[in-house]
A and B are shown apart, each in its own frame.
Chain A
Amino acid sequence: MSVDKRLFHRGRTDTYDFHSATPEQWQSNEDIDQYVPTHCCYCGVQCGMYLKVDGGKVVGVEPRYDFPLNQGMLCPKGATAYQTVNHPDRLTSPLMRRGGKGSPLEPVSWDEALDTIARRFREIQAEHGADAVAVYSGSSMTNEKCYLMGKFARVALGTRHCDYNGRLCMSSATGANERSLGIDRASNPVSDTEHADVIFVIGANVGECFPIVTSWLWRARDRGTKLIVADPRQTPIARTADVFLPLRSGTDSALLNAMLCVVIQEGLVDEEFIRQRTTGWEETKALALQYTPERVAKVCGLRPETIIEAARLFGHAKAALIYAARGLEHQSKGVDNGVACANLALATGNFGRPGAGYMTLTGQGNGQGGREMGQKASQLPGERDIEDPEDRAYIASVWGVNEADIPHAGLPATLMIPAMERQEIRACFMICSNPMVSLPDQHTAERALRTLDLFVVCDFFLSETAELADIVLPGNVWAEDEGTSTSLEGRVIKYNKAVDPPSGARLDWDIVCDLARRLGKGEYFPYKGQRDIFEEVRLATKGSKSDYFGITYEKIEEQNGVFWPCPTEDHPGTPRLYEDRFGFPDGLARFNPITYLPPAEEPDEEYPLVLTTGRVIYHYLSGNQTRRTPFLFEMAPCPWVEIHERAAQALGIGDGDWVTVRTRRGEMTAPALVVRSIRPDTIFIPYHYGHQEAVNILTNPVLEPMNKIPEYKVCAAAVVKATEPPAWAAKFDPDLLKAAQRSRHGLPSAGGKVGPRVNG
């Protein structure tokens, strides 16, 4: 059946593979010194795995069958995650532009690098005020490090401006959770999937972005659970869904309102639940009734019968579960969309029971923990409000500082960019982030980062962003330190240390603490390791919504993870939220009427198509790690433009042709993948690539008003056939491009010809 004849074309010299880079045969490492139980470093599912350690090196991976969430399963990223540890691209010395901007990055000693940073930060702060230095952090690192970055910004630097890449990822979900339910966490553990009668997946490409969650979906379907999927593309799970709603990007809140309308009209609301556990229903009900499926179908580009069918299925379910993710959150109404999901679940009484809830699938490894640890512009540890006097006083007591010395709320990450352009922010310390792939409107983002007087990046690979930095500090990968992470279901798990960092690199927490010492604030950072930091995290989150006080490293290992809130040491943790009460003081959930807000850009004559972006399974976030992993790189070496055959035919584009996509921000060229699995009015480009391959050159930097997430998922675009391949195509081995085309059917063959037409 298989026609794949590429099997024995071994590793290429231009990419590195831990086992096949050498000319010798791949030797099996049968003598393994140690199997280190840990978790995958990539997405929010945080699968359990063992790392094989031999001779002080991580040499492989072994399934960990005893971890209850994934039971040994791994996606291709997980199966190859270990290959980043000994990767030859690892940074092993601090790099600095000694000759100032424009000079090359050259290796320097740690002392020189850190002293320079401390001196320059002080100078800039003395001249332009404490807030002229910003901290731009990330969520793909341990809770301890996320906590440390917030404290570093507020205590060591004393700046208001501290935010993180979760702003680009799950901030809409946060907004929706906070407005509707009161606790910013998925309502249910993933294992609840099995208990749902209907699962409604909207804006979540579960198969590719949370692969292991798919097994739970399929397991539920074995019990007869019905699956509803809303997505402008046929995703792997949409292919066999019971009801498929291929809506137009950016119309989610209208669709959700229409489903609520049908639920009301057909008497499927749970009146008792609404009366006892919610407020604000009448207003929401009145508005929702104006969104009849017949009218909304026209806006969403759907058939009204399908919307009605989906709503009936959802309304009749004994337990219904909503899975939502970036598809509806990456919009200038991302919070609205999330609230509309919560409205639908609340109206049908779907909370606090097995299999009933609204779960946002958090994308980053520690996307959940990262947003609780006090690295957000407006929060202190434990999701505490930075403007609340009581919260400030408590954290001041934990940190041993004066309450008055804790800065107030600063700019969210997406508003730091214009602030950098205005030179309000003149220096930035960045860790665990690669905005030169991930921010929208890359030209503006690059201009802003280049405006900085001092730009420091801490990373273990030279990312596209680190290339712009004045000083680069080599940090550690996840396998080189212990620490905790909180998965998308709110389960706190623990990474275990497998090996030491390579000579020359240092542990991230150690770098930050050292820098704090050189800034004269060493007394506040006396840690000996991440365990010490975690003890402080427990204290700092004590009594807060995301209470970690009862969680210890030992307990995490005993229980295979602990779900927060966990207020005391004998508390087992809380897998399912809202069983008795919601997260507001009165215990009631809030209905919020959601009026439809159209996408910021609708297609017009000049830009007639809708561009949407997203992930592919082979890459994680900005691809800084996965593009360096040969297996993953070869599977998806460059971006492509998914376009419907009807649109392609009208534009004279054949499968594999180079096409240029233009928006009001810029243009990029990539090969076309002509398919019927996307809406005819929509094109899709994966976002994991940098430089001229970055789709974020094109995306719209308009922000959601509450939480400032950019509208990655909708903008207007025009497509034309390219006259020649882009410059970046020259760096690729043509064989690699051809192989990739075969494996994904339709990836580029340079100068590809028009493929056979299929009739639609």
Chain B
Amino acid sequence: MAVKRMFLDPSRCIGCRACVAACRECDTHKGQSMIYIDYINRGNTVATSPSLCMHCEQPLAPCAQVCPAQAILVSPDGVVHQADESRCINSRNCVYVCPFGIPKFDTSGNYMRKCNLCYDRASIGKSPMCSSVCPTQAIFYGTYEEFMQAGRGDQGAKPVNVFYFGQQRLRTRNYVVMHEDDDALDLMALAAEASLGAVAQTPPSTLGEESAPWVDADAAGIPERVAPPRPWAPRTAPQAPTTPAPMQPGTPSTAPERVPTAP
């Protein structure tokens, strides 16, 4: 059977954190959220991006491999689980080794916690909470074929699950949606680029490119209506009575038009 995977598409994310709220509602890690939404650069744009456990396939689960207590289970279906409370010895190796920075150490319970794809749901074929609720389906759960059939590929989107960290190649169960030209995501290269360019290199906001100074209608030479405002009163034309407003809604206002001559 084809493996169901998560597809994370930051271009669709609206930063609503419905996933964060819903993650807390799952029965396997109730009360705590295992997914993160970050603003990429709030000063410049409202763009946001979700991160959650990618469930590494090749090499298989580095977090589990470095665990000295074998507390992290990889179940036969490829799901990398959070640390077993009774085995975890607080080494935090998993926290240090994860290339995506996902596992978090729970200091109150003294064990590592992270996404297990809502195992109570995923193991019986249900969609995990975050992808179930995601209002934009920036987090999509399904097989690769299902994702492509949804039509996103036609618009130049391509899911990628190969990452490079320097020489280290990593293939994950979950995908990040990139552009059709991309085959892999080289995170070290991106990080280097970002730190070299710093904020000065951030592209200008789309808003900055499109907005311009303004003048009033008179100066611009477009027809405008005159209806002086009074607080707590409907804006009506000057010759309208100044007594309390007529009770009858539905009367279209018939204000005089001021048509300036064209400049």
Contact = CB atoms under 8 A, between A and B. Distances in A.
A and B from one complex = yes
Contacts of B28: 28
Given A74-B18, A239-B46, A631-B21, A291 B222 contact: yes
Contacts of B204: 676, 760
Contacts of B18: 73-76, 78-79, 211
19 contacts: A2-B101, A8-B113, A74-B18, A78-B18, A79-B22, A79-B133, A246-B210, A290-B222, A377-B247, A410-B247, A444-B232, A598-B217, A601-B229, A675-B43, A702-B230, A706-B250, A707-B249, A758-B44, A760-B208
Given A239-B206, A595-B225, A596-B224, A248 B135 contact: no
**Residues of B contacting A: mostly:** loop
B25 interface: yes
A215 B253 contact: no
Interface string B1-44: 00000000001111111101110110110111100101100111
B127 interface: yes
A179 B249 CA distance: 12
B77 interface: no
B215 interface: yes
A154 interface: no
Interface residues of B, number: 98
Given A26-B32, A295-B222, A10 B217 contact: no
Contact of B127 (A72, A175, A759): A72
Interface string A55-67: 0000011010100
Interface string A668-681: 00000111111111
A654 to B, nearest CB: 11
B221 interface: yes
Contact of B249 (A73, A248, A655, A708): A708
A411 B246 CA distance: 9
A704 B235 contact: yes
A600 B207 contact: no
A165 interface: no
Interface stretch (B55-63, B64-72, B146-154): B146-154
Interface string B227-262: 101111111100000001101111111010101000
Given A79-B22, A207-B16, A418-B232, A706 B223 contact: no
Interface stretch (B86-94, B102-110, B167-175): B102-110
B196 interface: no
A237 B232 contact: no
B148 to A, nearest CB: 11
B100 interface: yes
Contacts of B253: 705-706
B184 interface: no
Contacts of A246: 207, 210-211
Given A2-B102, A236-B14, A679 B229 contact: no
A758 B202 contact: yes
Interface residues of A, number: 130
Nearest to A175: B249
Given A74-B133, A78-B18, A680-B211, A746 B42 contact: yes
A222 B153 CA distance: 8
A114 interface: no
A701 interface: yes
B205 interface: yes
B25 A61 contact: yes
A74 B30 contact: no
Q: A-B pairs with the 8 shortest C-beta distances? A: A26-B31, A745-B42, A600-B229, A236-B14, A301-B214, A211-B135, A222-B151, A207-B14
B214 A298 contact: yes
A299 B225 contact: no
A441 interface: yes
B192 interface: no
A645 interface: yes
A244 B214 contact: no
A675 B217 contact: no
Contacts of A473: none
A211 to B, nearest CB: 4
Contact of A214 (B132, B136, B208, B252): B136
A596 B31 contact: no
Contact of A73 (B42, B132, B212, B225): B132
Contact of A245 (B30, B101, B210, B234): B210
A378 B232 CA distance: 19
A665 to B, nearest CB: 8
A287 interface: yes
B106 to A, nearest CB: 5
A214 B32 contact: no
B216 interface: yes
Given A238-B206, A677-B45, A617 B16 contact: yes
A129 interface: no
Contact of B14 (A65, A237, A631): A237
B174 to A, nearest CB: 13
A696 interface: no
A681 B154 CA distance: 39
Contacts of B107: 8
B112 to A, nearest CB: 11
Contacts of A627: none
B166 interface: no
Contact of B150 (A222, A239, A298): A222
Interface in A1-54: 1-5, 7-8, 10, 17, 19-20, 25-30
B76 interface: no
B14 A299 contact: no
B47 A28 contact: no
A65 B252 contact: no
B74 interface: no
A712 B108 CA distance: 47
B137 A635 contact: no
Nearest to B42: A745
